[in-house]
A = this chain, B = another copy of it.
Amino acid sequence: MTSTQLPSSPLSDAPLPGEKVRGSESGRPIMALFDLLGRRWTMRILWELNQNNCTFRELQQSCGKISPTVLNQRLKDLREVALVIAVDKQGYQLTETGKSLMLHIEPMRDWAQDWADQLKHK
């Protein structure tokens, strides 16, 4: 890829731990995380970036039908909370923090497989 214009923007309104987030006034970090991951496409984007680094356009394709508006919002959110970083000429990639989160999410693939099997047999 040959990315240009990689951003350095004021970013957006991601749910920050320590602040009030949707569904919790407490500022508890786990609630901020739920708010973040509970937004459509967020986990999917992290998942794709964990497979391999992607440009904006590549993410659009691998995520299927995500709209550029939402993808851009999510990328801003994820950069704001230091899970994703935009590297010039390299596209988007997970930060070390992002990768550490994926250590929790990744095993869910196997869990989901078992879950699917179980649902089939009932």
State the oligomeric state as a number of copies: 2
Q: Within the complex, which residue of B42, B108, B116 is in contact with A104, where a contact is CB–CB below 8 Å?
A: B108
**A interface, size bucket:** 35 or more
Whether A38 lies near B43 (C-beta < 8 A) is: yes
Whether B111 lies near A32 (C-beta < 8 A) is: no
Known: A23-B63, A23-B66, A40-B22. Is A30-B112 also a contact (CB below 8 A)? Answer: yes
- In the complex, chain B residues whose CB is within 8 Å of the CB of A18: 116, 119-120
Known: A44-B23, A104-B104, A104-B108. Is A115-B33 also a contact (CB below 8 A)? Answer: yes
A86 in the interface (beta carbon within 8 A): no
- A28 and B112 CA atoms in complex are apart in Å by 9
